[in-house]
Structure 1
Amino acid sequence: MRTLDIIALVLVVIGALNWGLIGFFRFDLIAALFGTMSTFTRVLYALVGLGGLYALSFFGKERTSRDTRDAGEVK
């Protein structure tokens, strides 16, 4: 896996866990740790969003690698 893929995946997991906490417990961990809409919090939210957008490309990569793998199989 490329480094950028790993960074994007970590950011997506952080965002998913934070949204889970917000949904279940009304607790925003990022805001609790770094302040409500501080500069760092906003930057972190933006990075999580960019990581999510980049992670959308994983769907195309999975399909492409599966198509390549299936093309080599004899049916």
Structure 2
Amino acid sequence: MEWLKKLAALLVLIGALNWGLVGLFDFNAVTEIFGSAATVTKVIYSLIGLSGLWMLLSKYKS
């Protein structure tokens, strides 16, 4: 289960960095890499969101 925690942390970090790039430079790295309407992009955003939720819930569960 430790690998899941590390993966979730990595995805949340990627999401945070991406939002920082969007806010500071109007540059979205995820859509630049995978395309703006690609299903892959939606999956990545969903995984990042679920990772954040999982980290939040596991923080209060422990």
Counterpart residue type for residue 21 of structure 2: L
SS of residue in 2 equivalent to 1:56: helix
Q: CA deviation at 1:3?
A: 1.1
1:57 counterpart residue number? 57
2:15 counterpart residue number? 15
The residue correspondences of 1:5-44 to structure 2 (distance < 5 A) are 5-44=5-44
Q: CA deviation at 1:58?
A: 4.3
CA RMSD of aligned residues (A): 1.5
What is the number of equivalent residue pairs in this alignment? 62
Percent of matched pairs sharing the same residue:
47
2:3 counterpart residue number? 3
Instruction: State the distance in 1 between where 2:27 and 2:6 align.
Output: 26
Instruction: State the distance in 2 between where 1:38 and 1:21 align.
Output: 20
SS of residue in 2 equivalent to 1:27: coil
Instruction: State the distance in 2 between where 1:57 and 1:20 align.
Output: 24
Larger RCO (CA within 8 A; separation ≥ 6): 2
Gaps of 5+ in 2: none
Gaps of 5+ in 1: 65-75
Instruction: State the distance in 2 between where 1:44 and 1:25 align.
Output: 21
Q: What TM-score, normalized by structure 2, do the two folds share? A: 0.90
Q: Which has the higher helix share?
A: 2
Counterpart residue type for residue 26 of structure 1: D
